[in-house]
Amino acid sequence: MPRHITLKDPHRESRIYSTRTIAAIILVVGLLAVILVRYYSLQITGYETYRTQSDRNRIQLQPLPPKRGLVYDRNGVLLADNRPSYILSVVREQVPDLEATLVELQALVPVSDSDLEKFRKKLTRRRPYEAVPLRFRLTEEEQARLAVNRYRLPGVVVDAQLLRHYPYGELFSHALGYVGRINERETLVLDESDYRGTFHVGKVGVEKYYEDILHGEVGYQNVESNAHGRVLRVLERHAPTPGIDLTLHLDIRVQQAAVDALGDRRGAVVAIHPLTGGVLALVSTPGFDANLFVNGISSVDYSALRDSLDVPLFNRAIQGQYPPGSTIKPIMAMAGLESGLVTPESTVADPGWYKLPGDRRKYRDWILRIRGTGHAPRVDMNMAIAQSCDVYFYDLARRLTIDRMYEYLHPYGFGTRTGIDTTSERPGILPSTRWKREAMAQPWYPGETLSAGIGQGYMLVTPMQLAVATSVLASKGQRKTPHLLQAIDGQPVAPPPLEPLIAKQENWQEVYKGMREVVHGKRGTAKYLAKGIEYEMAGKTGTAQVIGIAQNAVYNEDEVAERHRHHGLFIAFAPIEAPTIAVAIIVENGGGSSAAAPIARAVIDTWLLGEAG
């Protein structure tokens, strides 16, 4: 009997279908549950986290560098300003292949090896998504080339930024100093948050001394950008706080007059207002164009400045240390009067040379070479100052002794930094027995006292110190810290007052009388300055030896190399009855004071006879 085969089992198929349907539903519900859980995680529990990550991809925090404060002279002339400049920068995180991009950029715009080196150093010290500058001061043509190729240069940014500019170039280079690009050493010192987006910092001079005031405070903005890093819109902005403007005591007319009078000679001029201590002129020649340093000076230009025999980077006004020569004599006269060792009527025999008791050596007076004898059989204080008699001051120095000389000269500002508001000032040397013992481990000899008495030997001063001392003379002992800064944001400022130098009025007048005779007397060492003068000037000539001269040797300037010739110095103040300017000048290897004195006349004429300062 054939076997019965069931072709269709509705009940079984129904069970299978039901089972599969339930399984499918469970699977779908499970998957939906997973999706819902994940959706909940993304939208609810992890919302802030993922929103932040999303914002990081499209929103950037960009620093907004502040505008650097401007610098003006006393008459409102702009000495340091800011000019717009286009900067080529790179955002590393947005560049797929940095080396390839750099190669492309070099094909489009000139990029020096120095620019590349600085870029790579800066690249290692940046924050994420911070633009690193590669080239400054792009021309319009270079901007256009970059704009045309921007689509294939992701992460390359061209931004406008204000850069420091010095309209007068060399004229104020040593007075103002300059800013330059922040280097690796400075990044370790500067507060990173204060200098985000800022590429420059004050390097020397006023720019460095007042960096905190001039710099300002960095701002920031949140911007939305596309996948290529292009900014679409600004979401939030906090404006930077600009730096504060400064007004200096410097007078561009006086500064220019000093530079013109010095010409191409090496030297320095410092002019101070005796009543305030404000520095009216601070000149050191030769100078340099401060604009060269703003974006990083080229190696060629820097080598030329560094290797020059005239050392234009050296600020002679505050760093140069020179023997003051005979310019020290009015202060020595004040020391003699105040100590009671001499009176205005005291006289000294002057054969043209001086001998220490028990010593055969002759200390010669400069007049001996010219006349073969002294200034007069006997010389009093007035003649000694007017005609610069060495013998008179040899005798006074011997009687004072070197340590008492130190006590009387130190209050005038010698042997210590003046405290002027700039950088790299040097202290000079005011010798004493203690100084020589500590500096050289040697005793002091009497002959060295005589040399110090006429501003030679170990004594060294800066032109700034000499101007300060002249200012103390001019103000009859009113001591002021010299300062360049006159006002901050229009508000006058002044350094704390110093203790005045107390001396008898008649002693000041006696020294004034001798200094007046230097210029206005018939036999004054600078009588040629009085021609056509419209005011009364008190002055003192000075000559500083550069090389030693043997006991019986004769100095012949024509036979001496130019850089071995004497320095010429001159100090002065005017008008005598109520001084408003005190000056100190040095002309390196000028041969004598005749090289320096006319510069003082030009500077003082400009201040007193020009437009009101």
What amino acid positions are annotated as catalytic residues?
326
In angstroms, rounded to a whole number, what is the distance separating the alpha carbons of residues 342 and 396?
8
Q: What angle do CA 205, 113, 192 make, to 5 degrees?
A: 50
Q: Residue with structure tokens 């007076």?
A: 365
What token pair was written down for 10? 């509705």
Nearest to 406 by CA among 474, 351, 331: 331
Residues 6+ apart with CB under 8 A from 306: 313
Phi-psi region of 399 (alpha: psi -120 to 50; beta: other; left: phi over 0): alpha
What token pair was written down for 524? 């004054």
Cβ(249)–Cβ(483) below 8 Å = yes
In angstroms, rounded to a whole number, what is the distance separating the alpha carbons of residues 116 and 96?
18
In angstroms, rounded to a whole number, what is the distance separating the alpha carbons of residues 289 and 196?
28
Per-residue three-class SS string for 349-392:
ECCCEECCCCCCCCEECHHHHHHCCCCCCEECHHHHHHCCCHHH
Say if strands 581-587 and 59-64 run parallel, antiparallel, or are unpaired. Answer: unpaired
For residue 578, with 0-12 CB atoms within 10 Å meaning exposed, 13-18 middle and 19 or more buried, which class applies? exposed
Peptide bond into 154 cis (omega under 30): no
